[in-house]
Amino acid sequence: MRILTEIPDEDIEKLDAIAAKGNKSRAATIRDAVTLYLVHNGDDRSWIDRGYGLWADREDIGDAVEYQRAMREDRRPYEDI
């Protein structure tokens, strides 16, 4: 679908600079901007479901609670302060 909209000249200059940096057309850059806007301002939280449990099978990451307890073992008790 095509949309006709007015964009200030200053914004067009910035948009063209971003497009040139990314080696994209102005239209592609506007589509990317709209997508980012919708992701950040929409109610779509599917990214949470996609990321849930992503690191569950990782063995190189220890248990966070054990790590905290190990860090706290080095501290002096409050009674000694």
Q: Which amino acid is at 26?
A: R
Distance, CA of 30 to CA of 33 (rounded, Å)? 5
pLDDT at 80 > cutoff 70: no
CA 75, 60, 54, 37 dihedral sign is positive
The mean pLDDT of 36-65, rounded to a whole number, is: 83
Task: Give Cα 63 distance to the centre of its chain.
Answer: 25
For the beta carbon of residue 32, count every other beta carbon within 10 angstroms.
14
For the beta carbon of residue 12, count every other beta carbon within 10 angstroms.
11
The mean pLDDT of 16-32, rounded to a whole number, is: 96
Distance, CA of 36 to CA of 40 (rounded, Å)? 6
Grade residue 81 by pLDDT with cuts at 50, 70 and 90.
low
Question: Which sequence spans correspond to the domains of the chain?
Answer: 9-80
Grade residue 60 by pLDDT with cuts at 50, 70 and 90.
confident
Mean pLDDT score of the chain, rounded to an integer?
87
